[in-house]
Amino acid sequence: MPVRSKRKARIAAMKALYAVDVGGQTPDDAIHEAITAADLAEPYAQFAADAVRGVLSSGEELKSVIEGHSQGFTFDRMAAVDRSILLLAAWEMQAGREDPAVAINEAIEIAKAYSTEDSGRFVNGILGTIARLLPGREARILDGKELSKRVREGLKARVYALSKRGVQPRLEVLVAADDPASQTYVKMKRKWAEEVGILTGTFEVGANTTQEELLERIHALNEDATVHGILLQHPLPAHLNESAALEALGHRKDVDGISPQSLGRLVAGMPGFRAATPLGMMRLLDEHEIDVAGKRAVVIGRSVILGKPAALMLLERHATVTICHSRTEGLREICRFADVLVAAVGRAEMVRGDWIKPGAVVLDAGYNRVEGRKGDVGDVAFDEALEVAGWITPVPGGVGPMTVAMLLSNVVDAAETATP
What's the CA gap between 2 and 6, in Å, rounded? 6
Catalytically annotated residue among 8, 15, 63, 189: 189
Residue 321: strand, helix, or coil: strand
Residue 295: strand, helix, or coil: coil
Q: Mark whether 261 is an active-site residue.
A: no
Q: What is the dihedral of CA 128, 132, 137, 138, to 10 degrees?
A: 100
- Which strands make up the sheet holding 170-176, listed edge to edge? 199-205, 170-176, 229-232
What's the CA gap between 260 and 281, in Å, rounded? 21
Q: Mark whether 233 is an active-site residue.
A: yes
Farthest CA pair distance, the chain: 86
Q: How many other C-beta atoms can be found within 10 angstroms of the C-beta atom of residue 164?
A: 7
What's the CA gap between 279 and 28, in Å, rounded? 54
Q: Mark whether 168 is an active-site residue.
A: no
Catalytically annotated residue among 256, 339, 364, 379: 256
Catalytically annotated residue among 15, 82, 233, 254: 233
Strands 296-300 and 199-205: unpaired
Helix H, strand E, coil C: the string for 157-172 is HHHHHHHCCCCCCEEE
Residue 372: strand, helix, or coil: coil
Residue 236: alpha-carbon gap to chain centroid: 29
Q: Are 172 and 203 in contact (CB under 8 A)?
A: yes
CA atoms lying within 13 Å on the CB side of residue 240: 25
Active site residues: 189, 233, 256
